[in-house]
Amino acid sequence: MLITGAASGFGKALAEACATPGVALHLCDLHAAGLTEVAGLCAAAGAHVAPAVLDVGDAAAMAGWIRGVGQLDLVIANAGILPEIGAAFECHTQARRVFEINVNGMLNTALPAIDAMALQAPAPDGVRGRIAVVSSILAFVPAPMAPAYSASKAAVQAWAEATDGNERARGIRLHSNCPGYIRTGLVTSNPMPMPLIMRPARAARLALEGLAAGRSRVSFPRRVHFGMRLIGALPPRLRNALIAQLQRWHLRRGGNQS
């Protein structure tokens, strides 16, 4: 099992949820200290842990790492960034960095994993391996306060679901994971309401349950998913006006103080 962005937040929760006795966990992150801490927690739970300090933006390094880990039953491409949001205008450099990590970093993980899984023998259910890419509930709403982030997550979600339609034929499954708001450091600057915000451990449990059930899209909580799909279906001018109104209402109430 392989997880990127495992040093903190959702990635850390996923690693801990997967750390059962005897499981081989390959974890990577750019932040060595956090990765070491997570590796220790997972090892204490009985897992065999192999941490690697890597930048998912480095395609060659990621391909070499993935080729060397051996059998891959599940790969979770979780690494992603959400810079400070809510500015009047998004910084061009920031926008490019978001796409580099959230989209290219995902591809640098998923594409070598597909190649590796294609060479593996299928399990009794015919599946050679599974790849889950972590998108977001914002994949369904082009959010003016985070244009690059919402667009990058829409690309991740669409690519995984479309590719699953092809790769099923040779026993490789791809899943898009589109969680709602998770209480991590990524959302501390979010100026918008965050309904039904979840603790990372609960989000990890729901994500893994959806993968175990074989769902192509794992999106939760359902009420937030439904609401975002409704907002995303509005005409752009009306949608942006509604989002701006929600943001003003939320800030008048004191924002995300908890």
Q: How far apart are the first and last CA of the chain?
A: 34
Closest residue by Cα to residue 53 from 62, 40, 44, 42: 62
Query: Is 257 within a domain?
Result: no
Query: Which pLDDT score is estimated for 23?
Result: 96
Residue 154 token pair: 């829409």
Domain that holds residue 99: 2-252
Mean pLDDT, each 10-residue run in order, the chain (258 residues): 96 97 97 97 98 97 96 96 74 92 98 97 95 96 89 97 96 97 73 80 97 95 92 92 79 58
Query: Is 198 within a domain?
Result: yes
Q: What's the full length of the chain, in residues?
A: 258
**Residue 71 burial by CB count (10 A; 0-12/13-18/19+): exposed, middle or buried?**
exposed
Measured distance CA(71)–CA(57) in Å, rounded: 23
Measured distance CA(107)–CA(103) in Å, rounded: 6
Q: The tokens 């209480």 sit on which residue? A: 183
Four-CA torsion 31, 32, 37, 39, nearest 10 degrees: 100
Closest residue by Cα to residue 41 from 58, 71, 68, 18: 18
Query: Is 258 within a domain?
Result: no
Query: Is 59 within a domain?
Result: yes
- The enclosing domain of 149 has a CATH number of 3.40.50.720
**Considering its fold, how many domains does the chain have in total?**
1
Question: 3-class DSSP state for residue 119?
Answer: coil
**Stated pTM of the model:** 0.91
Question: 3-class DSSP state for residue 3?
Answer: strand
Say which residues have a Cβ less than 8 Å from residue 27's Cβ, sequence separation at least 6: 2, 3, 6, 15, 35, 38, 39, 42, 49, 50, 51, 52
Give the amino acid at 258: S
**Residue 191 burial by CB count (10 A; 0-12/13-18/19+): exposed, middle or buried?**
middle
Query: Is 87 within a domain?
Result: yes
